[in-house]
């Protein structure tokens, strides 16, 4: 069985296969997958990766498999006459919801509670089926997390001492 031990962002060579995955399934670390062509591969990455459309899994034989963002059931959020798209984006961001923010619309995963909130703010909502590529948050690091195990000095006069091991 082939193994995918690394990844790359895009690629110009013709991929050996494709994996069509929805947004949730594109967050991978270790999983047995079957390509769209029926070939089994063991994804075994050193750390979790959130793949975007067009990214590649690099196989242990040197070939690559292209990741394709699958179509998903989404809401298309459009501003209404009394609300601005940026205000709707703020409310979604305040709830830490994954959102694909385009110039004239926002795409989100379907949730009837969020739909009611957005309609209450004056948004127009349409049900659509489309690939979902949400914006990554400010603290997202593509491909890996940055731990916060660095030392912060506390050499300012508190009248007591901090001991950091």
d(CA 68, CA 66): 6
> What residues make up the domain containing 89?
71-131
The answer to whether residue 142 sits within a structural domain is no
> Domain check: are 41 and 83 in the same one?
no
The answer to whether residue 144 sits within a structural domain is no
Residue 75, strand partner residues: 108, 127
Q: Of 69, 86, 101, which residue sits at a domain end?
A: 69
Residue 45's pLDDT is 97
pTM for the full predicted model: 0.77
Q: Of 39, 54, 69, which residue sits at a domain end?
A: 69
Contacts of 123 (CB under 8 A, 6+ apart): 77, 78, 79, 80, 83, 88
Per-residue pLDDT in tens (0 to 9) along the chain, 165 residues: 899 999 999 888 899 999 999 999 999 999 999 999 999 999 999 999 999 999 999 999 999 999 999 999 999 999 998 889 999 999 999 999 999 999 999 999 999 999 999 999 999 999 999 999 998 765 555 444 333 333 334 344 444 444 444
Domains identified in the chain, total number: 2
The answer to whether residue 112 sits within a structural domain is yes
Which residue intervals of the chain are DSSP H helices? 85-94, 112-120
């Amino acid at each position: 069985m082939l193994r995918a031990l690394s990844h790359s962002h895009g690629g110009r060579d013709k991929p050996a296969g494709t994996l069509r995955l929805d947004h949730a399934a594109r967050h991978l670390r270790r999983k047995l997958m079957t390509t769209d062509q029926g070939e089994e591969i063991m994804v075994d990455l050193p750390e979790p990766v959130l793949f975007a459309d067009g990214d590649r899994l690099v196989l242990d034989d040197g070939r690559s498999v292209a990741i394709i963002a699958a179509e998903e059931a989404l809401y298309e959020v459009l501003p209404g006459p009394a609300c601005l798209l940026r205000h709707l984006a703020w409310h979604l961001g305040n709830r830490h919801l994954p959102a694909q923010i385009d110039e004239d619309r926002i795409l989100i995963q379907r949730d009837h509670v969020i739909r009611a909130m957005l309609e209450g703010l004056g948004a127009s909502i349409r049900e659509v089926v489309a690939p979902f590529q949400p914006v990554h948050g400010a603290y997202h690091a593509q491909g890996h997390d940055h731990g916060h195990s660095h030392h912060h000095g506390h050499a300012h006069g508190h009248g007591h001492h901090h001991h950091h091991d």
